[in-house]
Structure 1
Amino acid sequence: MLTPQAIKDQEFQTKFRGYDTIEVKAYLELLADDYFELAELNRNLEEQLETLHVEREELQADNGALQEELRAHLATSVGSESEIAQERDAKEKELATLKEKLERVKQENQTLAQENRDYQQSNEKLKEDVERAERETAREKTETEKLRSRLELLVERNEELKQEGADFKTTILAAQNFANNLKATTEENARKLMEEAKAEVEGFKESAQAELHRLPIEIEELEQKKSQVRRELQELLHSYLAALDLDGEAAEEPVASRN
């Protein structure tokens, strides 16, 4: 039989993400207190019911004794009819009083029976609450097992992701090293190309300077050659003119001799 102490002492296994143990314990203690109060009320009602049963039996016994006494008195009485009538009325009043008292006892008995039924209903409801709490606890236990299995899968997946992350990190580091080496090689080649370009520019600059230095000399030489050619042309022209003059004089002499 379920007792208040058994409810208080009930223990549940704790699982991941289950019910709050403090709230469950507090609820069980509350149920135990209510169950204890209902048990005490039921015990008191049973005691009162037993007392009423005893009183009813006593009243029934008194009623029977009074009726027997009345019949015996009527059978043996030698008094006047008025005295008998008065005594009968008194006995009837006493009997009516006993009947009223018996009726009250019956009503109280019915009230106690109703309270007992209410108590039983409350007790049934309390049992249903306890059973529902146990079912909820079992369901939470199942959910907890599922969550724990899922958590284990997530942990395994996390380990796999960590391993994949480590492999990816290794690949990234290798790529970074390759990029750094490529960058260093490219920078070295660029530096060499820059040095070669600078050397070529310097050579071209020196050649240009030498060419610039040589051009005035060549220009001077060309000017000199130009002057010499001009002089030669002038001399040639003078020679040609002189030759023409000589030819003219030679042509005039035969004409004069013929005259």
Structure 2
Amino acid sequence: MTASSTHNTVIFTDLDHTLLDARGAGPAGAAVRRVSARGIPVVPATSKTAAETLALLRGWGIHGPAVVENGSALCLPTRPGHWRVRRLTRQSYADVRYSVRRLRRALDLDMPGFGDWSLPELMHHVGLTPPQALAARTRLASEPLRWRGAAPPAFLAGLDAAGLTAIGGGRFLTVLPRSADKADGARELLRHWHPFRRRPRIVALGDAPNDRNLLAFADLAACLPGPNPLTGIDCLHPAHAGPEGWLDALKQLGVI
């Protein structure tokens, strides 16, 4: 990518294990601000909630959009410092919770979720501060459940019958509407948000199977190493995960 082509570029990026690690964004946070100041939007496309993601954007001093809860919703900037959050799925968080509770009872599964825990319990189980726990609890259409390994087939079948699916990752299994997808969220965002005169060149970065369609949608993509690595997709493979790999990938792609 040449320097001139970056003026019509948008970066869609996963957050955990991609732009962020356990310590945050580190030097990548400053790079986000620099790239944004050059007119290249950095758009989170994340499993995080709108509240979690907007806290990060405010911290970086960026008033841009985001794709949140794995494509379940968009954060659309309005006046400075304010966003409109738009859910893209037919099912709400209450609908997801209802289906999860029904299936857990029917199958006798010990599978607690964020909505089952008090704020102190959530802080304890996930390792969050009070503001972070409150933001993680403010959900629109997805529910993380404490479960390691593959989900029981009967549980997955019940989710499918209800129009839901589940994404595994580490200690949690996240249930969300089957229609939710980061790539579809990115497409919908570009239909409602028009900072460019023509279709932008799309750069995407991610590390996990839930990023696959987003990376395939992009013109240039980087697959970072992560707990659930991506395979079988044509993209740049930086050596490092997290902010270091994120910076390296954008350098190799000629964006920074």
Per the normalisation by structure 2, the TM-score is 0.22
Larger Rg computed on CA atoms = 1
Greater share of helix residues, 1 or 2? 1
